Structure 1
Amino acid sequence: MNIFRPLITAAALACATGAVQAQATLTPAPQNVVTLESSGTVEVQQDVLVLTLGTAKEGKDAATVQTQLRQALDTALAEVRKTAEPKLMDVRTGNFSLSPRYGQNQQITGWQGRAELVLEGRDFPRITGAAARATTLTISRVAFDLSREQRESVEGEAQQQAIARFKEQAGRLSTNFGFGGYSLREVAVHSSQSGPGLQPRMMAMEARGASMPDAPIPVEAGKASVTVTVTGSVQMR
């Protein structure tokens, strides 16, 4: 009896597995299911200025070029930190690079480097004024963005628009196909942001002007669009 028991057990498991597979195969695919997509978009004023200052140096000696970059950066940092304040004007260092310059026969003939300082915040006059006083660096890039608070405040409105349109589509299609209503099967919500200020706008290195080297440059933010997209499927019934 003990000899045949494992064989009986194995056979029973095989039968049970086969029954489950057969049942899964026989389960009908969902019927009267439609996939939908809707979106809501809200336009909002950009409220964050991202201003990049930089300087480039070159010379025959790497250590000398690096020292010049550090001195220019340290001097600018000391100046802009005087008026730095969280969210109004945050200060951080940007790119710092040093690379060889090659001549004939791939021989190193000198070195070139670049250092950057980034000012970011909501107080535009404070930022442009600090940049103007940092005379060891010049303005290389200006960009605008949305603060997290500004983006979240309009995401809710855009989401309401997208959901309302999704429900309206689902109800209309259900009616048009002759059904009395629908039930939600699955849904996904995604948000995105677009606007001219998200792509940095290059500025001339002479942006301050020769006659007024310490004058703040004029800046004006544009508008960004926050879009929320709702995708999903509904069961018409």
Structure 2
Amino acid sequence: MYLSTQNRKWLLGIALCLGASVLAAPASAQEDEDKAVKGGKWPQASLRAEAAAEVPHDTVKITLATEISDASQAAVAKALSKTLDSVMGDAKGDPKIKVSSGNYRLWPMSNEKGKISNWRGRGEIFLESTDFAAASELAGKLSDRMPIDNLAFSVSQQARAKQEQALMTQAVKAFTDRAQALTDALGFAHYTIRNVDLGGAGAQPYQPAGRMMAMAADKASVPLEGGTEMVTVSIRGSIFLHSTQK
């Protein structure tokens, strides 16, 4: 089909207009939202809320330690290994108590002339359990070879996770209540959440080490009583404030 020069120019103009229409297609919802925020249509506000609970310690970790001194490094290493193997063998067997090796170290001691006079060695074994009575009794039995050096009470991962799950609901409610209160106080119609970050934290466990040291004297098991720990769930986020109803 033959097209005159005038018709070709007319068709080319239509094609250019269609191309411009495609390039000028409506912006995405995110682009519209970004433009609205930059233009001040939807003000933003940052908020923080948290929920906390005092949780009793349900786990104890007892550190057994021994130090040995001798003239040679080999003699110290041999005696230390013998003690650790013996205690480790006697400690295992109770499924309620987790037994693991701790720090192991050998180092030289020098005299006033700077020469090595003897060697010292130190080894540790950890007893960890949610059964305080069983852990106390076992530590008392082993204290003649490896005295109790330290202990720490804590909240187990299972108990912490369970508590944080319950606190999350409370933290979310506190966040939404605060967001609604801010919206009402500033005279806006409603709000929408832009982003939310969830976090959690716990305090350091209480460590009454001195009380445990008394167990080493007579190998008697002493009732253990842990303290408490604050488990916290916090929510940080930002909201859009809308001046019109949904």
Matched, 1:94 2:69: no
| 1:4-41 CA distance string (max 9 Å, x none) | xxxxxxxxxxxx9xxxxxx9xx9526641000111100
* 8 Å contact from structure 2 (residues 150, 212) kept in 1: no
Q: TM-score, normalised by structure 1?
A: 0.80
Among 137, 140, 164, the residue aligned to 2:146: 137
Where 2:89 maps in the other structure, the secondary structure is helix
Among 107, 123, 129, the residue aligned to 2:131: 123
| 1:117-155 CA distance string (max 9 Å, x none) | 000011111111111111310000111111222111110
Please give the alpha-carbon distance, in whole angstroms, between the structure 2 residues aligned to 1:176 and 1:235.
14
Please give the alpha-carbon distance, in whole angstroms, between the structure 2 residues aligned to 1:52 and 1:151.
23
Among 176, 181, 185, the residue aligned to 2:194: 185
Give the ranges of 4+ consecutive aligned residues of structure 1 lying more than 6 Å apart after TM superposition: none
Aligned residue pairs total 207
- Aligned sequence identity (%): 27
Seen in structure 2, the aligned counterparts of structure 1 residues 186 and 151 have a Cα distance that, compared at 3 Å, is: same
Structure 1 residue runs without a partner (length 5+): 1-15, 17-22
Q: Which residue of 2 aligns with 1:167?
A: 176
Please give the alpha-carbon distance, in whole angstroms, between the structure 2 residues aligned to 1:107 and 1:116.
28
Q: Which residue of 2 aligns with 1:35?
A: 46
Structure 2 residue runs without a partner (length 5+): 1-22, 24-30
Matched, 1:114 2:119: no
Greater alpha carbon shift after TM alignment, 147-156 vs 227-236: 147-156
Q: Which residue of 2 aligns with 1:46?
A: 57
* 8 Å contact from structure 1 (residues 181, 236) kept in 2: yes
Seen in structure 2, the aligned counterparts of structure 1 residues 89 and 205 have a Cα distance that, compared at 3 Å, is: closer
Q: Which residue identity does 2:195 align to in structure 1?
A: E
Q: Which residue of 1 aligns with 2:228?
A: 223
When Rg is computed on C-alpha atoms for both structures, the one with the higher figure is: 2
Please give the alpha-carbon distance, in whole angstroms, between the structure 2 residues aligned to 1:80 and 1:221.
22
Q: Which residue of 1 aligns with 2:8?
A: none
Q: TM-score, normalised by structure 2?
A: 0.78
Please give the alpha-carbon distance, in whole angstroms, between the structure 2 residues aligned to 1:97 and 1:75.
18
Q: Which residue of 1 aligns with 2:164?
A: 155
Q: CA deviation at 1:208?
A: 2.4
Q: Which residue of 2 aligns with 1:5?
A: none
Q: Which residue of 2 aligns with 1:64?
A: 75
Q: Which residue of 1 aligns with 2:15?
A: none
| 1:162-196 CA distance string (max 9 Å, x none) | 11111111101111111011000001001111143
Seen in structure 2, the aligned counterparts of structure 1 residues 32 and 150 have a Cα distance that, compared at 3 Å, is: same
* 8 Å contact from structure 2 (residues 149, 213) kept in 1: no
Q: Which residue of 1 aligns with 2:209?
A: 202
